[in-house]
Structure 1
């Protein structure tokens, strides 16, 4: 089977899940699947996808995995005790054929946030691997290995690369579990300290690497419905995160409402409290320059802060960003699909996004318009109004 461990997911699923347990245990949410590729028909694989999800829902955490999680400094004992009783419940996810979506299937997840949050990453990995198992089976990954070797060579040959750190963020759209394992092993052996770690907790445990991650978009989206006032939902989310982690895991996600609203909310208090911020949409050069300027204006030395870039990166783009910002601020780069599904065929651009919390619509207003997702256009228009975004303008400053 494709998923053999509940650790085979991104770290931020566990960090958010712990926050949900302590801060929002009664929240009810709904997620929806989306395939952004045109011309992809997933209906022939419906039975296999459902069988893989059946198996996923049979998994529990063995004691060795619970001990590993307990050893992470920010994971609390009561959360580990909760996970010792946890398994994903099949009644909260449905996968059916549907003519309403171009890809031919509908994946809907609905139930308590605490019991549905771990579905996203393994379900996306299942869809991707099942699809490529039939659509483009590979034998030996010769082309993928050639590309991977070239990427690592570029990193090692980059001048003045002492501050160049790359992490794997690619579990959700990986070609296969076997390919992800190969890439992580190869990069760890080849790049040494330049390979900072992986977001996949299973492989972090297996290879003794640092698990990477803090929060995802769904956390700040849910705060639209769970906080006291919509306009304060972003600051409410940051406050609750700080309450949970007391200064640990201090990387703020900056693009749930776009860069302009983020900078308005990310005041001197948050600039000093959080270690840095993560970019996941829009022009990364514009974003990085804006963040450096913002830190300086809020009496923070930019060189004491970290910028994490994670939006559709490849190695050439990563190196361009590194050259532009090195020695001005700390840098880290999370590369996903270009590492874990760059073996020849076109990867699937698939996502599962939260669309509702406690019966209310939630939305992401991305600096990259096609990355936004909301099923209620009236709510989306209202959200833009509340955060002071003209419907005709992007959420970020003009690209250079």
Structure 2
């Protein structure tokens, strides 16, 4: 059994789910899976993936897990009471070989947002682990450990990187749960204050680490259907988040409509209200420069704001970004695949994205076009027009 706890997921699933419970409990959504690698045949593993998902759907939150969630300052008591009754339901998810694309599989999740939001991360972790235990029956863990030691030394042994802190964001694309645990323990044991924590709530609880995360793309995408009008959906999402958390969890996501549209909406009010923003597509150096200048233009000192980098990072890029911005803003880094799936094998680039909410298409138009996932060209064109996005 690959997933053994409903806490084995990213913190932002809980923080978004709490917003859904309190503000959008009736929202209906659809998610779709995509493997971006070419020439990867996942169809032999459909039955095994289904069996693992069935096991996932039998899990319930344990009392100790609920008490841990209750101890987090931003988690509210009624949400934990709801989680005590919660489980994932198989009727909302299907896994089949693709009828149109040979070698691909279709994973579709449809149902109430409140009852489906927790599928994404464990399902992606299941797909990864099923695939790699079938294709790499004798994993080269020594190679993985050597690579991990070199990464840790790159940061920990350089005095110029004394304030550089890295978090684990690698649950969804990890090689395996056991390898993920080994990586986290190695970082905790050898990186000291350079290790900021993990997005994985289960490992945060087990190893006394800081759980990290705020919002994901799906939250802002859903607000395209849930807000008063499309053009105001980004500001609506930020305002609803602030209404729920009252200044806590103050890192916004900047790339659902691209940086230009984000900065148009991220006015002086939001610059002062939120703690910072997270980069997840496009050139990170350009993004950082633009955000720092934007803070200055809005009479906000960027030195007090957080720039979170999380897009396809390796440790060399982390070091370069830290040196560029360390004296002008607070910087933080979330490293995913390069931490938890770097044993010498090509990682799977798997995603599961929300594609509809309340019956209408939703999408993101990020600064990396290959990350976009919507098959309704008319809606994409309308979205570009509304948010003044070129291309």
TM-score w.r.t. length of structure 2: 0.99
User: Cα deviation per residue 1:294-328 (whole Å; 9 max; x = unaligned)?
Assistant: 01111111010000000000000111101111111
Aligned equivalents of 2:278 and 2:158: distance in 1? Answer: 23
Partner Cα separation in structure 2 for residue 339 and residue 103 of structure 1: 28
Give the 4+ runs in structure 1 shifted more than 4 A: none
Aligned to 1:201: 201
Three-state SS of the structure 2 residue aligned to 1:346 is coil
Give SS of 2:215's match.
Answer: coil
Report the Cα distance in structure 1 between the residues aligned to 2:178 and 2:386, rounded to whole angstroms: 46
- Shift in Å at residue 162 of structure 1? 2.8
Query: Which residue in 2 is equivalent to 1:179?
Result: 179
Kept in 1: contact 2:144–2:342 (CA 8 A): yes
Describe the superposition over 1:188-211 as per-residue Cα deviations: whole angstroms up to 9, x where unpaired.
Answer: 110011000000000000000000
Alpha-carbon distance, 1:139 to partner: 4.1
TM superposition shift of 1:137: 2.5
Residues 70 and 77, structure 2, Cα contact 8 Å, conserved in 1? yes
Give the aligned partner of residue 231 of structure 2. Answer: 231
Report how far residue 102 of structure 1 moved: 5.0
Output the CA distance in 2 between the equivalents of 1:266 and 1:21: 26
8 A Cα contact 1:204 1:210, kept in partner:
yes
Over the aligned positions, Cα root-mean-square deviation in angstroms equals 0.8
| Distance in 2 between residues matched to 1:120 and 1:295, nearest whole Å | 34
The size of the alignment, in residue pairs, is 391
Hey, what does 2:296 align to over in structure 1? Answer: 296
d(CA) in 1 for partners of 2:49, 2:307? 37
Shift of 1:155: 0.6
Q: Which residue of 1 aligns with 2:3?
A: 3
2:346 alignment counterpart: 346
Residues 219 and 237, structure 2, Cα contact 8 Å, conserved in 1: yes
Partner of 1:211: 211
Answer yes or no: is the 8 Å Cα contact 2:97–2:103 preserved in 1.
no
Alignment of 1:101-180 (within 5 A): 101=101, 103-139=103-139, 141-180=141-180
TM-score by length of 1: 0.97
Q: Can you give the 5+ residue segments of structure 2 that lack an aligned partner in the other structure?
A: none
Deviations 1:272-309 (A, max 9, x none): 00000000000000000000000111111101000000
Q: Name the CA distance, whole Å, in 2 between partners of 1:320 and 1:342.
A: 20
- Structure 1: 5+ residue runs without aligned partners? 393-400
Q: How does 1:277-296 map to 2 (within 5 A)?
A: 277-296=277-296
Aligned mates of 1:190, 1:138 — CA distance in 2: 26
CA–CA distance in structure 2, aligned partners of residues 222 and 70 of structure 1: 26
Shift of 1:385: 0.4
Alpha-carbon distance, 1:37 to partner: 0.1
Residue matched to 1:267: 267
Contact kept? 2:161, 2:319, Cα under 8 Å: no
Q: What is the distance in 1 between the residues matched to 2:312 and 2:283? A: 11
Report if the CA contact (8 A) 1:32-1:353 is conserved.
yes
SS of 1:84 mapped into structure 2: helix
What SS does structure 2 have at the residue aligned with 1:171? coil
